[in-house]
Amino acid sequence: MKTLNALVAGALFLFFAGVSYAQEEPVKPAEAESSHTVVNATAAIAAPAPVVKALPVHRAVPAVSRGAIAEVQGEVVALTEKSISVMYNHDADKGSEEEMFFTFDPAKINVERIKSLGAISQGDTVLVRYVMETADYGDIQKINSKVVTIRFVKPVNDQSFYKKKIAPTISSDDQLVSDTLSLKGEK
């Protein structure tokens, strides 16, 4: 019986000893390796761990995708050698306008129904065909409109919102003469 009791006591001892060794040991803070190393313990505890952020992906050469050809027709608001601004929607009731601005290379565009861009003036109606190109730089997308064609539709008329500006002239009676009414009204 003594052997049986010794075997049971040994088995229980091994069982409980195994369970206690299987438990995780708490992690102890790191200690200085030598007595010559100076460690600022309060700074190590108080300072938060540095946060590492992933940097945005920038591609040196963007992936460019070409869209379909789009077009807008409207009155010319402004025209320079390398840009055109077209008002394509005007709501007099709300007092709002919608306008698109394009830059272009004059050597790379087609001009239709007129001889040159110099023949277009403010208030003329034009149709601008352009291609939307999207350049994907990874985290940034840039949209660029490339003008393909500028077509002259009709010249400025009385219903045009933007009309040619005529410089006022002075008559022999020293009164202001122009195509608009004076501030005094009609005589």
- Contact 86/100 with Cβ under 8 angstroms? yes
**pLDDT at position 135:** 85
Q: What's the pLDDT tens digit per position in 31-57?
A: 444 444 445 444 445 555 565 565 565
**pLDDT at position 61:** 72
**pLDDT at position 150:** 96
**pLDDT at position 65:** 82
61-154: CATH, from 2.40.50, 1.20.140, 2.30.29, 3.40.50: 2.40.50
**pLDDT at position 126:** 96
Distances (CA, A) of 14 to 3, 10, 21: 16, 6, 10
CA 24 to chain centre: 53
Domain ranges of the chain: 61-154
Q: Does the predicted TM-score (pTM) go above 0.75?
A: no
Report residues of the chain scoring pLDDT below 70. Answer: 1, 7-8, 10-60, 164-187
**How far apart (Å, rounded) are the C-alpha atoms in residues 37 and 44?**
14
**pLDDT at position 187:** 56
Which is nearest to 164 in space by CA: 153, 155, 174?
Answer: 155
Residue 33 CA neighbour count, 13 Å, CB half? 0
Q: What's the pLDDT tens digit per position in 97-108?
A: 999 999 999 999
